[in-house]
Amino acid sequence: MIDFLFNYETLRIVWWMLLGILLIGFAVTDGFDMGVGALLPFVAKTDIERRVAINTIGPVWEGNQVWFVLGGGAIFAAWPALYALSFSGFYLAMFLVLFAMILRPVAFKYRSKREDARWRSNWDWALFIGGAVPALVFGVAVGNALKGVPFHFSTDLRPSYEGTLFGLLNPVALYCGLVSLSMLVMHGAAWLAFKAEGPVADRARIIGGKAALAAAVLFAGGGVLVWLGLLGGYEVTSAIVWDGPSNPLGKTVIANANGWLRNFYATPALCLVPVLGIVAPLLAAAGFRARREGLTFLASKLGIFCIIATVGLAMFPIILPSSTNPGHSLAVFDASSSRATLRNMLIATVIFLPLVLAYTAWVYSVLWGKVSEASLRGAGSSAY
Amino acid sequence: MTSPLLVELSRLQFALTAMYHFLFVPLTLGLSIMLAMMETVYVMTGRTIWRDMVKFWGVLFGINFALGVATGLTMEFQFGMNWAYYSHYVGDVFGAPLAIEGLMAFFLEATFVGLFFFGWERLSARAHLVVTWLVALGTNFSALWILIANGWMQNPVGSVFNPDTMRMEVTDFVAVIFNPVAQAKFVHTVSAGYVCGAVFVLGVSAFYMLRGRHVDLAKRSFVIASAFGIASSLSVIVLGDESGYAITDNQKMKLAAMEAMWETEPAPASFTAFGIPSMSDRTTHFAVHIPWVMGLIGTRSIDKEIPGIFELVHKAEGRIRNGLTAYDALEKLKVNHGDTAARASFDATSKDLGYALLLKRYIEDPRLANDDQIKQAAWSTVPEVPAIFFTFRLMVLCAFLLVAVFALSLWHTMRETQAPRWLLRMALIAMPLPWIAAEVGWFVAEFGRQPWIIEGTLPTFLATSELGIPDLLITILGFTVVYGVLAVIEVRLMLQAIAKGPAVGADIALPVGDRTRIRLAAVR
């Protein structure tokens, strides 16, 4: 059993799934913080309304953001070539994300330190940028990953990226950016409907319903783009050696317009995932209308899960295809860490992740209850 | 070949963002522990002034914490952004502590820091105390894992180069965790953080006492800060980083550079209190020596020799020649993975592969290097001696001044006399010292590591991403502007919060016996 668990093939597939879980964990936790940030100017007009919106996430955004940081660390540890290539390749896009995300912690903490209206409105814009910009850019990055990214390796495995920032901003990738933006706005609205009271929650319900519909339609449209071959597609043509050394130069890959559909043709049951990726947001849209906040939030989570999982399943076993040298694409079987590192990291994850989930659940239970204008007036300095 | 300008700009950006991040981290480390100590006293004695103290210092902690978190985001991603070849080359080893830091430390501190601020009304006093301690524990765990990562850069234990994957891979993760350099660095760095927290509390309290404001709160804080400060500042010095400097060639080179010690001296070596080191003359002018001291600091013995720069350069030359065999074998393996003769030759010499890579600065194929180039490469293992020599002395000077401030403060506390005004002013003026010491300490450790990014394994100039110069200029400018603006805002908010003072000014007279209790609490 241990042998099976710790053989290189199993470890690689487990870490491919954990990569997905990390991205999904980030999207369902920090995702609603970003959604609230992006919604802030639209759901809350007065200072007290904005405080209601901000304080729904005030005590928890910091823990949620660790999913982002952990994502960086875990990709570094388990998929070093992906870490090296994607962040240096998407250099300026990544800088934009960092710039936006640096504003967030400061904005949360500093906004309440002064009464001045200009001061507060400036920080509200910082929160808006900190929510909307990453939500958009992450989708653009996924769009580019689907299309293929222009890169190659030297024989020393030194990665070189041949594109530009503007190359990343192609129409198809921007379309994927809209998918992720609408998805996270839906999620932020679902959280606000669940956690806030009064006009903030009412406005969130209206906008959330529209965003959920948009997410469902845009995601379905993405499926059409893949089917038309506009979102790329690649296929490994050489024999896959699952326990070979992590060297991406030893295989052949070709561009294939149907490449991203192959797994679904081969295993039709997998189609359940993209179907749920459309149905769940529709369910969320209905939930907003029916004022079933708990259900809406769960549907929103399920939708995000399925949308992100669809991308992973479509590309498997490829993680990041190269458009200029397809053979150099990063794949599950040749871009991972060594067996020892994957094993060590799996042990660390099995110990710590349940612990993290347990105390996070405890913290949410302590903070249970709605945030309203009245509750904020009573909270004094224990609120933003 | 990456352009030298790109390498310099990448290093500049890393130094800027890391040193800026490290303005906030040590204060978080120190204050989180002090908050937990103050709150412990509150829970044990039930005296509300201690809760007021936790809340007041907590406000300042929060203002600082936000920037620590914000600038930490950059750190987590810029290895991949700016140091792509490094990330590929060592990610198998270096990435793991970073990921575990997230799992074990960041989640802990970040999840509970929200409750620390928002949970006062929702939690019992004991539960809130546990939350505060968990935040403190999280920040300290984070220091542990990041210094395990950094310690591996200084002393890459438990790993080997794999020619099939063209990167370093872990062979013994336990050795990486218990790396003696990492452990020495951890103790030294967290102690330095505690000093920052102590000086901060001491200085602000002194300010209140000088102005006669919030005196009860300030006096108690002053007691805690002086006791905590003397313990941590002595720990910084006694458990100094130098204990890790006898282990590897590069660490020895760093030690020799700190001392500007060109020739190996008979043990125990003398300490150069002052001098003007010259890189071109390869000697130290006007040197003032104190016998024995260096040998004691560097080796904790009187009979072990500390090698000088000339000896270490000579050794490096030998390792370069040995590394060339490894390089040649590796090139053969790249063409034919099954070449058993090449693999045997590589396995025998691979520990010196990094030394052969030093030649890439002078020639594309190191195997074609001539004797002059090999000598040049050997001398490139010497960091900028004068810079290391002087910054090290500045750090030590700051540390001793701080011990003096804490000792005097504690002396007056123990005698239960009011600290005199000159001492309070001194405590106020001393506030920047631990930050100066921490920043130059980082400089000594990391600039002193040059030319290596991973000692003996990968030279810095090979480790960058292949970016355009404009990309780097955009991000350096961008970070400078954002960080600059945020720094101004942060300092203003800190000053505003200090001027405003604690929310509840409990000006109750000290009852008899309370002082002793405070003292006990402070010692604990």
Residue B208 has pLDDT above 70, yes or no: yes
Please give the residue that has the higher pLDDT: either B296 or B237. B237
Residue among B197, B15, B140, B24 at smallest CA distance from A106 = B24
Predicted local distance difference test score (pLDDT) of residue B413: 84
Please give the residue that has the higher pLDDT: either B266 or A198. A198
Q: Could you give the CA distance from residue A190 to residue A294 in angstroms, rounded to a whole number?
A: 8
Size of interface A-B (CB pairs under 8 A): 249
Q: At what angle do helices B385-414 and B433-447 cross, to 10 degrees?
A: 150
Using a CB-CB cut-off of 8 Å, the residues of chain B touching A340 are 169-171, 173
Residue B516 has pLDDT above 70, yes or no: no
What the block records as the tokens of B295 is 């040998």
Write phi, then psi, for B513 (nearest 5 degrees).
Answer: 90, -20
Q: Could you give the CA distance from residue B502 to residue B504 in angstroms, rounded to a whole number?
A: 6
Task: Using CB atoms within 10 Å of the CB of residue B96, give its burial: 0 to 12 exposed, 13 to 18 middle, 19+ buried.
Answer: buried
User: Mapping DSSP to helix (H, G, I), strand (E, B) and coil, where does residue A262 land?
Assistant: helix
What percent of chain B lies above the pLDDT cut of 90?
A: 77
Q: Which residue of A has its CA nearest to B104?
A: A352
Predicted local distance difference test score (pLDDT) of residue B307: 87
Residue B141, number of CB atoms within 10 A of its CB: 18
Interchain proximity B81–A345, CB inside 8 Å? no
Interchain proximity A344–B104, CB inside 8 Å? no
Q: Which residue of B has its CA nearest to A68?
A: B73
Query: Cβ distance B115 to B131 under 8 Å?
Result: yes
Find which of B56, B87, B458 to mutate to test the A interface (most A CBs within 10 Å of its CB). B87
Give tens-digit pLDDT for B125-153. 999 999 999 999 999 999 999 999 999 99
Give tens-digit pLDDT for B38-58. 999 999 999 999 999 999 999
Give tens-digit pLDDT for A126-145. 999 999 999 999 999 999 99
Residues 242-281 of A with CB under 8 A from B: 245-247
What the block records as the tokens of B457 is 């394994």
Could you tell me which residues come within 8 angstroms of residue B277 by beta carbon, excluding any fewer than 6 positions away? Answer: B260, B283, B284, B285, B385, B386, B389
Torsion (CA) A113, A119, A121, A127 in degrees, nearest 10: -60
Predicted local distance difference test score (pLDDT) of residue B292: 76
Give the confidence band of B520 by pLDDT, cuts at 50, 70, 90. Answer: very low
Give tens-digit pLDDT for B154-172. 999 999 999 999 999 999 9
Interchain proximity A78–B112, CB inside 8 Å? no
From the list B167, B474, B482, which residue is nearest A102 (CB)? B482
Domain edges within chain B:
4-244+384-447+468-523, 258-383
Q: Please name the residue ranges forming H helices in B46-179.
A: 48-82, 84-100, 107-118, 125-154, 173-177
From the list B91, B103, B112, which residue is nearest A76 (CB)? B91
Question: Taking all residues of chain B, what is their mean pLDDT, rounded to a whole number?
Answer: 90
Produce one character per residue of B270-304: b if its CB has 16 or more CB atoms within 10 Å, e if not.
bbbeebebeeeeeebeebebeeeebbebbbeeeee
A162 lies within 8 A of chain B by CB: no
* DSSP single-letter state for residue A237: -
Using a CB-CB cut-off of 8 Å, the residues of chain A touching B100 are 73, 345, 348, 352
Give the confidence band of B242 by pLDDT, cuts at 50, 70, 90. Answer: low
Interchain proximity A80–B91, CB inside 8 Å? yes
Using a CB-CB cut-off of 8 Å, the residues of chain B touching A349 are 103
Predicted local distance difference test score (pLDDT) of residue B135: 97
User: Mapping DSSP to helix (H, G, I), strand (E, B) and coil, where does residue B446 land?
Assistant: helix
Residues of chain A with pLDDT under 70: 1-2
- The residue count for chain B: 524
One-letter identity of residue A280: A
Residue B504 has pLDDT above 70, yes or no: no
What is the sign, positive or negative, of the torsion defined by CA atoms of A356, A359, A362, A366?
negative
Give tens-digit pLDDT for B211-235. 999 999 999 999 999 999 999 999 9
Residue B508 has pLDDT above 60, yes or no: no
Using a CB-CB cut-off of 8 Å, the residues of chain A touching B88 are 80-81, 84, 157-159
Q: Could you give the CA distance from residue B425 to residue B419 in angstroms, rounded to a whole number?
A: 10
Predicted local distance difference test score (pLDDT) of residue B255: 87
Predicted local distance difference test score (pLDDT) of residue B517: 42
Residue among B195, B191, B190 at smallest CA distance from B431 = B195
Residue among A284, A275, A209, A248 at smallest CA distance from A82 = A248
Interchain proximity B111–A86, CB inside 8 Å? no
Predicted local distance difference test score (pLDDT) of residue B509: 36
Predicted local distance difference test score (pLDDT) of residue A229: 85
Predicted local distance difference test score (pLDDT) of residue A1: 62
